[in-house]
């Protein structure tokens, strides 16, 4: 500033602001803190977290996405890491902990380079070069997945360490059955829509009581006690309109001046209801599943005709029922004919735990199926459900891609070795960033070793030694603390999950690295009567001081 010149104030006096190295340091510390929070959950021997909310409800899980979703995170940079984890979960369904742990380590390694005077832009460029090379190497290391045995191994790996215990192998069979049932060939490609697999849960029993249903389970019971509880050779009508007399959309009054006409009016209502039941009976349907209400009178006539009926079935369940049974949804009862009815061997009401549910089973070549999860307690059932959903997603994308990778830290160790060699061909300061990337990748096998109670340094040394000898598929054997061939052990990782995890971790890490100024915006005002928000600290997790 020229001597004597008045300084120009751009921001309001007292506006909190962090600039340059201080801003970068705070952001990196927040990212490292949230990575440390979930790091102990990684791998088949990872620990669980108990999350307790303000009213005492608890969630027990070692699923990264669930933990981060339930955590009360304030720091803006930590929120970016959480968003990256959500993105990973939405895109591929697994690998959320890997993304967070890897992003935290990439920033930790970048911090060392920043202290040595390497610019953040050069670090970001080096990381992106490393990602391109990693993707190329992953493509070469991937093996073909073309049988159910491989898919089961993928499912077991996804289920391991998630409170499924000795049932992991049994549950993996159910997952593969479900995936094979809903997979389709389109334009020469395998497509698996996991939305067509309905996962229901009921506490009671054990995980080994979990069942695969070749059809759909509906969390509804029959509407009338006189209706049969079991219908064999079911002809199913799916109706998405109410089986009752609709109220007019405008205010209207019916005035009856002659008392003798009251009964005529009531009789006419009853006749209308009877006609509804008659139309269903004439179509040949012996099961009615209705998306909306069913009047008591209609219920009576359906029960009298021996027809099973359930009401207020969810739209999503109706769509799955149509895919499972081949039925077509109808709105107008005049459209119900034999051609629109679906088929199933059995429709029955069963009592599961304290609830009654409708089972539509024995569908021929269904394109929508169900898995009913059982477990000792509600918390166990919830965790098995999360594990099953992860397994379903990873098996589905493996079936679509037709390839997989060795697990147990084998891939990260091989990539680290290849990237160190590649960095020598790049040269310049980007070489330092690529070497930092390679070192960051080793956090995965290191963490797996730590969480298994092994010595992380000795384990990494052994692992590096084997990979230098050309044993590309060697990783950490958690059972006997050795370095073994992951392919022969059947420890498999999903190609798309691993690729997406590395890319997501680098994207969020480089975005954080490029931030050199953190300013409280005018939208960051605190709610009335509440604590300041916006860029508040993340208590105990490396957050900035509250604004």
| pLDDT for the residue numbered 507 | 95
Q: Are 509 and 429 in contact (CB under 8 A)?
A: no
pLDDT digits (tens, 9 = 90+) for 44-82: 888 989 989 888 889 888 888 889 888 888 888 888 999
Same domain, 494 and 413: yes
CA distance between the termini of the chain: 29
Same domain, 240 and 331: yes
164 has pLDDT over 80: no
Which segments within 240-286 are labelled E, that is strand?
none
More confident residue, 262 or 312: 312
Same domain, 132 and 57: yes
Q: Which of 365, 397, 432 is the last residue of a domain?
A: 365
Q: Would residue 387 count as lying in a domain?
A: no
Q: Are 16 and 23 in contact (CB under 8 A)?
A: no
| pLDDT for the residue numbered 4 | 55
pLDDT digits (tens, 9 = 90+) for 451-479: 989 999 999 999 999 999 999 999 999 88
Task: Supply the CATH number for residue 444's domain.
Answer: 1.10.560.10
| pLDDT for the residue numbered 533 | 42
Tell me the range of 228-242, 481-495, 509-523 where mean pLDDT is highest: 228-242
Q: What is the mean pLDDT of residues 344-359?
A: 93
pTM of full prediction above 0.85 = no
pLDDT digits (tens, 9 = 90+) for 74-108: 888 888 999 999 999 888 888 899 999 999 999 99
Residue 388, C-beta contacts closer than 8 angstroms, at least 6 positions apart = 159, 171, 175, 199, 371, 373
Same domain, 136 and 30: yes
Same domain, 275 and 413: no
Same domain, 472 and 334: no
322 has pLDDT over 50: yes
Which DSSP string do the residues of 125-188 spell out, in sequence order? HHHHHHHHHHHHHHHHH-EE--SHHHHHHHHHHHHTTSS-GGGHHHHHHHHHHHHHHHEEEETT
Using pLDDT thresholds of 50, 70 and 90, give the confidence band for residue 27: confident
Measure the CA–CA gap between 195 and 178, rounded to whole angstroms. Answer: 11
State phi, psi for 184 to the nearest 5 degrees: -135, 155
Q: What is the mean pLDDT of residues 272-282?
A: 91
Least confident of 28-37, 161-170, 203-212, 328-337: 161-170
Q: Are 277 and 305 in contact (CB under 8 A)?
A: yes
Q: Would residue 513 count as lying in a domain?
A: yes
Q: What is the mean pLDDT of residues 438-460?
A: 93
Same domain, 263 and 360: yes
| pLDDT for the residue numbered 76 | 86
Residues labelled as active-site residues: 63, 96-97, 390
Same domain, 33 and 111: yes
Q: Would residue 472 count as lying in a domain?
A: yes
pLDDT digits (tens, 9 = 90+) for 170-209: 999 999 999 999 999 988 899 999 999 999 999 888 888 9
Q: Would residue 177 count as lying in a domain?
A: no
Count helices and strands in the chain by DSSP H and E runs: 17, 21
Q: What is the mean pLDDT of residues 118-144?
A: 94
Same domain, 73 and 127: yes
503 has pLDDT over 80: yes
Measure the CA–CA gap between 347 and 350, rounded to whole angstroms. Answer: 10
More confident residue, 9 or 295: 295
Domain region containing 58: 22-143+406-519
Residue 408, number of CB atoms within 10 A of its CB: 28
266 has pLDDT over 90: no
**Mean pLDDT for the chain?**
86
Residue 85, C-beta contacts closer than 8 angstroms, at least 6 positions apart = 64, 65, 68, 96, 97, 99, 100
Q: Which of 68, 59, 58, 134 is nearest to 97 (CA)?
A: 68
pLDDT digits (tens, 9 = 90+) for 418-428: 999 999 999 88
| pLDDT for the residue numbered 160 | 82
Q: What is the mean pLDDT of residues 197-223?
A: 92
Q: Would residue 188 count as lying in a domain?
A: no
| pLDDT for the residue numbered 370 | 96
Q: Would residue 221 count as lying in a domain?
A: yes
Task: Supply the CATH number for residue 262's domain.
Answer: 3.50.7.10
Instruction: Please tell me the total count of domains within the chain.
Output: 2
Q: What is the mean pLDDT of residues 356-379?
A: 92
Q: Would residue 206 count as lying in a domain?
A: no
Q: Which of 335, 365, 395 is the last residue of a domain?
A: 365
Q: Would residue 9 count as lying in a domain?
A: no
261 has pLDDT over 90: no
| pLDDT for the residue numbered 14 | 47
| pLDDT for the residue numbered 538 | 41
Same domain, 326 and 433: no
Q: Are 224 and 294 in contact (CB under 8 A)?
A: no
| pLDDT for the residue numbered 73 | 84
What whole-number percentage of the chain has pLDDT above 90? 60
Q: What is the mean pLDDT of residues 275-288?
A: 93
| pLDDT for the residue numbered 534 | 43
């Amino acid at each position: 500033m020229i001597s004597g010149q008045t300084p120009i104030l751009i921001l309001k006096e007292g506006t909190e602001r962090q600039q340059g190295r201080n801003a970068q340091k705070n952001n990196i510390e927040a990212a490292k803190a949230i990575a440390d929070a979930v790091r102990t959950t990684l791998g088949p021997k990872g620990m669980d977290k108990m999350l307790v909310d303000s009213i005492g409800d608890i969630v027990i899980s070692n699923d990264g996405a669930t933990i981060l979703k339930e955590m009360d995170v304030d720091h803006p940079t930590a929120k970016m890491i959480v968003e990256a984890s959500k993105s990973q979960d939405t895109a591929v369904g697994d690998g959320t902990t890997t993304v967070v742990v890897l992003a935290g380590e990439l920033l930790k390694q970048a911090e060392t380079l920043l202290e040595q005077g390497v610019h953040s832009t050069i670090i970001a460029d080096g990381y992106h070069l490393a990602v391109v090379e990693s993707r190329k190497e992953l493509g070469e290391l991937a093996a073909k997945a073309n049988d159910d045995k491989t898919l089961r191994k993928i499912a077991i790996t996804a289920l391991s360490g998630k409170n499924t215990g000795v049932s992991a192998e049994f549950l993996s069979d159910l997952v593969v059955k479900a995936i094979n049932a809903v997979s389709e060939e389109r334009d020469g490609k395998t497509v698996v829509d996991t939305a067509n697999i309905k996962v229901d849960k009921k506490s009671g029993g054990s995980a080994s009581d979990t069942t695969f249903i070749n059809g759909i389970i509906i969390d509804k019971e029959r509407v009338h006690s006189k209706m049969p509880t079991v219908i064999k050779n079911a002809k199913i009508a799916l109706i998405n309109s109410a089986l009752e007399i609709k109220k007019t959309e405008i205010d209207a009054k019916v005035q009856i001046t002659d008392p003798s006409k009251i009964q005529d009016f009531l009789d006419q209502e009853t006749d209308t209801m009877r006609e509804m039941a008659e139309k269903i009976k004439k179509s040949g349907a012996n099961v009615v599943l209705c998306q909306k209400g069913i009047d008591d009178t209609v219920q009576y006539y359906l029960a009298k005709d021996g027809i099973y009926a359930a009401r207020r079935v969810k739209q999503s369940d109706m769509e799955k029922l149509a895919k499972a049974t081949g039925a077509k949804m109808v709105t107008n009862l005049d459209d119900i004919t034999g051609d629109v009815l679906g088929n199933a061997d059995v429709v029955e009401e069963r009592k599961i735990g304290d609830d009654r549910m409708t089972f539509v089973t024995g569908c021929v070549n269904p394109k929508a199926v169900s898995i009913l999860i059982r477990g000792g307690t509600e918390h166990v059932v919830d965790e098995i459900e999360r594990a099953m959903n992860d397994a379903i997603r990873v098996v589905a994308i493996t079936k679509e891609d037709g390839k997989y990778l060795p697990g147990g830290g084998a891939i990260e160790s091989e990539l680290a070795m290849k990237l160190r060699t590649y960095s020598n061909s790049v040269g310049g300061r980007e070489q330092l960033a690529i070497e930092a990337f390679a070192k960051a990748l080793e956090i995965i096998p290191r963490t797996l070793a730590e969480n298994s109670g092994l010595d992380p340094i000795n384990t990494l040394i052994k692992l590096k030694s084997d990979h230098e000898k050309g044993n590309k598929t060697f990783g950490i054997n958690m059972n006997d603390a050795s370095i073994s061939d992951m392919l022969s052990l059947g420890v498999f990782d999903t190609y798309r999950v691993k690729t997406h995890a590395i890319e997501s971790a680098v994207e969020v890490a480089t975005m954080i690295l490029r931030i050199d100024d953190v300013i409280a915006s005018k939208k960051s005002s605190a709610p009335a009567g509440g604590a300041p928000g916006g860029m508040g600290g993340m208590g105990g997790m490396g957050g900035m001081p509250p604004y």
